[in-house]
Structure 1
Amino acid sequence: MSSHWERLDESLRPSVTASVAAYERALPELKRVTSEMESLVRDVMEDAQDKPLFVTSRTKTVESFREKASRMVVPEPGAAPALQFPDPLRNLTDMVGVRVITTLPGENANVANLIKRRRNIFDCRGDREKDIGSIESGTYGYSSRHLILRSIQNAVVRSYQEALDPEAKASGSYFFECQIRTIFAHAWSEIEHDIRFKAQDPRAWSPYFDRQFTATAAMLETVESAFSELHERYETVTSYWDAEGEGGESLTPNRIKAVWQTLLPHVDRKADDDWGWAAELVHAHGLTQTIDLAALLQPDIISHVRKALDHRYSPGPDRLLDDLLLWQFGQRHIDLTAEEASAEQTPRRDSLQRRHQQMQRYRTSMGF
């Protein structure tokens, strides 16, 4: 696998050599531009609601610049060889690259929007999702948001432009690339780049590598989706404890169902969609807001109830809610929700009394 430089037509070598020499001469100033762009992006990220994990940057090496500057276009029949980037110092937009590394895919759009709104610092001239093509083609690839940004009247950029070409007017405008991707995608792309693009010996390559990279990209998408779902569930659950927000919402039958299925999705084997009975039970004790139900459906309480009653079968929502209220309110729950003690038949009262006694014995044994 020879390099572009090795395959470069002899007639084009003087032009590329001159560009490489100019690049190498101005590289110290370009590294200052890289630091400046990274610093500006960091400043923008101070306004982010979800702060990125980190912001990093890199300046293209002389070797990498020479390799990209040596790329030729596919020639027309009979046409002279030509460079893909005739003036690489002005045609290339990836000599400076800034990377913003996020936690979850949903944060990428927020970061991109923050950067694009800072029009006094950056002018966004390109914006694409790297994984869109793979999604539409039914293949896999890591997800990354790529912005092409132009700095606006930047003093550090002017210094670089003066070092590169003292005769030209320094505008302070410079094109660079900003990649926004998750920590998972970042790790994947770094490993892929090391193995796939830095391989010096083509004999060390195997088609199985392509297969493995595709498989890991698929797993990456699954993992990111799982973490995104976990994050959304966390945000939903924490909102239940905000008495001024979702925690203050009324406990209608549908609301109880939604909260239950979020907090206890593993305990949902109802044969019908009627949750009116649940509203009646909690309202009997004056529990009328979401925060009240969230406080009742706590893991430690559920664990004690399960141990106290030693259920032969895992209870469904109706039985478990009844038991949790019995644990919490004791005899009061019986008096409020069971038949009158003087009734001819009292099957519910008898059942609740029996379970209440079991709970009392458990509390005694546990020293409650």
Structure 2
Amino acid sequence: MEIFANHVELYSQRRDLYVKAAKKLRQVLTECMEEASITYLVVKSRAKEVASFEKKSTKESADGSLKYSDPLTEITDLVAARIVTYSEASVEDVCAIIGQKFFLDESADKGKETRDKGEFGYASKHFVAKLLPTYFGIPGYKILEDMRFEIQVRTAVQHAWAEYEHSVRYKGGFPKGANPEIDRGFEAAAVDAERLDREFAEIGRVVREASSGVSQGEKIPTSSSKGNSFARTWLTGASLRSFLEQRYSGVGPSKRMSYDWISGLLVLHGIDSIEELSATLQDVNHELVAQAMGYSYPAMHVRRLDDDLLQSLGQGWIERYKREVPEGKEHLSHLRARRRMLQNAGLWRG
């Protein structure tokens, strides 16, 4: 056991590094959710506690042999994250993005595994992943290079069931089979949880249909329309969304706060009307910009506009962001990385 004591000591010495990696992973995942405009409850991450590492590193297999010969490389949840959404549809959206943004060593649908047994219970999507080379070279992301980590995705309902079940089973000392009444209670709660997620899914369907009906109303004309009917339509979050719905047909909407954020930045840049914004983007081919970016996930309205402004305004857009949002260092790094993409595609205007 001396070898494993050395592993524990080494992990203890390195844990601060894993804590920093967990924070960076949370940031990456949060950026993915925001850019794809996915509504979520929480994105959490953590580095494994030393005591938990020690316990897991000495875990035995069914035949009595030690499960891990090299715990530091074989244990995959030294850094782990969890994304909790409101609906199963959002879970699927998140999983699609994870599959595009990360290299996946392993993936498992725990809910399907439970259903395949004819049971009700734990439901969550699990991934063992690594950072894609896309992020390599971006300041701050080096800490995640060559590191494996686990990501769990579940609904808020599934999360509530799983957290309480874990608390009772593992922390409370009532493993499955220890108390039939507790077992029946959790199974009944799992049935209700699955039913509740189905009801939320139906509500989401109705909301999408209703929202689609609203968006099919009168379109705001572009500044090149006959008679120039914009005539100083002031730039606000609402007017910007209407403009972008027409500019990027078939592209999904961003979060409401995102429209407010970028419209405020545009006003500071001296673009305070839809008419001026339309003129600024007049020579930008947004389809070519999108090809240059090579989006690995659905890029929504504000992300598409941000990239088009980068192509239109060039370094001036980067400098504006640098002045007005001095705390936004990570986004600034992304803008510079996108600048390289535009340069590689021959679209950069300087």
Please classify the TM superposition score into its range, dividing by the shorter chain length: 0.5 to 0.7
Runs (5+) with no aligned partner, structure 2 = 219-350
Give the structure 2 partner of residue 219 of structure 1. Answer: 192
Q: 1:157 to 1:241 in 2, by over 3 A?
A: closer
2:147 matched to which residue of 1? 174
Aligned to 1:229: 202
Q: CA RMSD in A?
A: 2.5
Please tell me whether residue 129 in structure 1 is matched to residue 123 in structure 2: no
**How far apart, CA to CA, are the structure 2 residues paired with 1:36 and 1:234?**
34
Asked if 2 retains the 8 angstrom alpha-carbon contact of 1:152 and 1:173, the reply is no
Q: CA offsets per residue over residues 211-234 of structure 1, 9 Å max, x none?
A: 211111111000110111122122
**Pairing partner for 1:61 from 40, 46, 49:** 49
Q: Deviations over 1:150-190 (max 9, x none)?
A: 12566768669xxxxxxxxxxx3111011111111111111
1:345 is matched with none
Q: Deviations over 1:123-173 (max 9, x none)?
A: 12222211111212211123211111112566768669xxxxxxxxxxx31
Query: Which residue in 2 is equivalent to 1:107?
Result: 90
- Map 1:1-368 onto structure 2 (within 5 A): 13-75=1-63, 82-118=65-101, 122-152=102-132, 172-200=145-173, 206-243=179-216
TM-superposed deviation, 1:238:
3.4
1-side partners of 2:178 and 2:48: how far apart?
25
Find the residue that maps to 1:50 and give its secondary structure: coil
Partners of 1:242 and 1:157 in 2: CA distance: 39
Q: Using CA pairs under 8 Å that are at least 6 residues apart, name the structure with larger relative contact order, 1 or 2.
A: 2
Give the structure with higher Rg (CA). Answer: 1
Q: CA deviation at 1:198?
A: 1.7
Report if the CA contact (8 A) 2:84-2:159 is conserved. Answer: yes
C-alpha distance in structure 2 between counterparts of 1:216 and 1:134, whole Å? 14
Amino acid at match of 1:84: K
Change beyond 3 A, Cα 1:53–1:74: closer
Q: CA–CA distance in 1 between the matches of 2:7 and 2:141?
A: 19
Count residues in correspondence.
213
- Residue deviations 1:42-78 (CA, integer Å, cap 9, x gap): 1111222332222111211111111111111233xxx
Q: Distance in 2 between matches of 1:150 and 1:222?
A: 34
Q: Distance in 2 between matches of 1:40 and 1:178?
A: 12
TM-score (norm 1): 0.53
- The runs of 5 or more residues in structure 1 that have no matched partner are 1-12, 76-80, 161-171, 246-368
TM-score of the aligned structures, taking structure 2 as reference length = 0.56
**Residue type at the aligned position of 1:70:** T
**Residues 1:218 and 1:201: Cα distance change in structure 2 (over 3 Å):** closer
Question: Aligned equivalents of 2:140 and 2:37: distance in 1?
Answer: 29
Check conservation: 1:141, 1:214, Cα contact below 8 A.
yes
Query: What secondary structure sits across from 1:106 in the alignment?
Result: helix
CA 1:28–1:242 in 2, change beyond 3 Å: closer, same or farther? closer
Q: CA deviation at 1:24?
A: 0.9
Distance in 1 (alpha carbons) for counterparts of 2:170 and 2:126:
19
